[in-house]
Each structure stands twice: as structure tokens, then as C-alpha cells.
Amino acid sequence: MAAVGAFVFVPLAILGLYSLSDQWNAPHLLPTAYTIKWYDYLFHYEGGLSGVVQSTLVAAATTVFTMLVGLPAAYALARYRFRGRRVLEMALLAKTAIPVILVGVGTASLFYTWGLHDTFVGLVAAHSVGALPLQVWTAAAAFQRVDVSGEEAARDLGASFIRRFVEIVLPGALPGIIASAILVFLFSMDEFTVTFFVSGVAYTTMPLRLYSALNSGYIEPAAASAMILLMPSVLYLGLVLRYFGSSELRGGLGNLG
């Protein structure tokens, strides 16, 4: 666990130091001077705040949309055998088999035709296509772990489908559903390739601004962009842990195993 923690957090710590460094040269292990000018530069000249807001709004909308579309599909895959099931499974798996850059080019060509290029709706739709398999498979695993006998007993007693779902299925599957929402939100916040093709001037999310900062040739603005990109995700995870608890989150992520 210590090695895993070091693998995750040491690079983040280095990024944080670079984002605050004014002077950091060898052989010094730490910066010899600190500054917040890189954050000031991003927020005042590079639209950093706008990028954070746009990324967060797109990620939130993508999460809501994929939950509305994906939960019924996940429940159907977990509970029923129906015509077209294999087609649905193959459609969900196909996204992971196709190179992302091809998806981006194809999506961009369609969006130009449909008038969705560089629009909020277009970004949410593009992100949802990529995030939907994550949501569906995670939620389906959660639904499969809910004992079907409880549903059958409630049905025999005359409970409606909605009541059975809300009172029996949903509480048991909630940790997995929360985990699927987290995965979708983080996927959308970090999505770059498809966003690069379907966005333009009006919508420039933080991954695109990070790419622009890297092209500047200076690592400090790029590090500051990366730290800004991390903040909404940390806040989102913090809210989930605050209101649902770490034990439920671990249980939901356990559904992936």
C-alpha cells in the first residue's frame, strides 16, 4: 500500500511544488523561491476559472445524463434475458475496442453536420458516449449483487416495480451506483482526445488548457493547470465521502472485482 500511495501522491506533490516554484534548479531538492504567479497568470490571462467552470458543468451534466440512460440498461443486463441483449453488450464493449482518436474524428464530422460542434450539448453527448460503458458495467455489477429473492417476495406480496426498485434494489445497489457516478465524473473531467475534436473557441475545458500550457514550453503553468484540474475532482470525492461514507464507497468499488 505504501508503494501504491507513493506512486500516486509523489508525482502530485512534485506537480504542486512546480506550480508554486519561482526558482528550482539542480542540485536543490526543493524550490529555492516560491510564488503564486502561475495561478494568477492562468486565472487572469488564460481563462483558468472559465475552464474549471466549464469542465465541472460538463462533467456534472455528463454524470446526470449517463445515470438516466445507463441505470435502466444496467438493471436490464443484470436481471433479464432479452432479444438484443448481445447487441447491447457488444455496443458497450465496442467503444473500448475502437481507438479514441478515431472516435474523436468520427464524432467531430457528425457534430459539424448536426450543428453540435463547440456546443455544451455536443460536449456532454461526446463525453457520455465514452463514459456510458463505465457506468453501465459498474452499475450492472452492483445490481447483480442484490439478492433477487427479496424482489420476488415483494412482487408476490403485490409491490409495484417502482416500489420494489426503490425500497429493495436501490439501497442494496447504491454503493455501486455511487461508484459509477464517480467514475463518470472523473472520466469527463479528464477527457481530452474527443474534447479536442468536438470543441472550439466557446468551450475550452481544463484538459485543453493544460495542453495549451504544456505547449508554452514552461512546466510551471502546466503544473498549475494540472493542480487546478484536480480541484473539482477532489471536491466531488470529498462530498461523496462526507455524505455517503468511505465504507459504502469501498463497497461500491468492490463491485468491480
Question: Quick one: pLDDT at residue 132?
Answer: 92
Report the CATH fold assignment for 52-254.
MetI-like fold (1.10.3720)
Question: Quick one: pLDDT at residue 100?
Answer: 87
Question: Quick one: pLDDT at residue 13?
Answer: 83
pTM, full prediction: 0.80
33 φ, ψ to 5°? -150, 145
Give the other-Cβ count within 10 Å of 197's Cβ: 19
Question: Quick one: pLDDT at residue 63?
Answer: 95
Cell numbers representing residue 74 in the block: 444496467
Low-confidence ranges of the chain (pLDDT < 70): 1, 4, 45-48, 240, 242-257
Cell numbers representing residue 15 in the block: 506537480
Question: Quick one: pLDDT at residue 247?
Answer: 55
62 φ, ψ to 5°? -65, -40
Question: Quick one: pLDDT at residue 45?
Answer: 66
DSSP code, position 165: I
The domain spans of the chain are: 52-254
Question: Quick one: pLDDT at residue 44?
Answer: 73
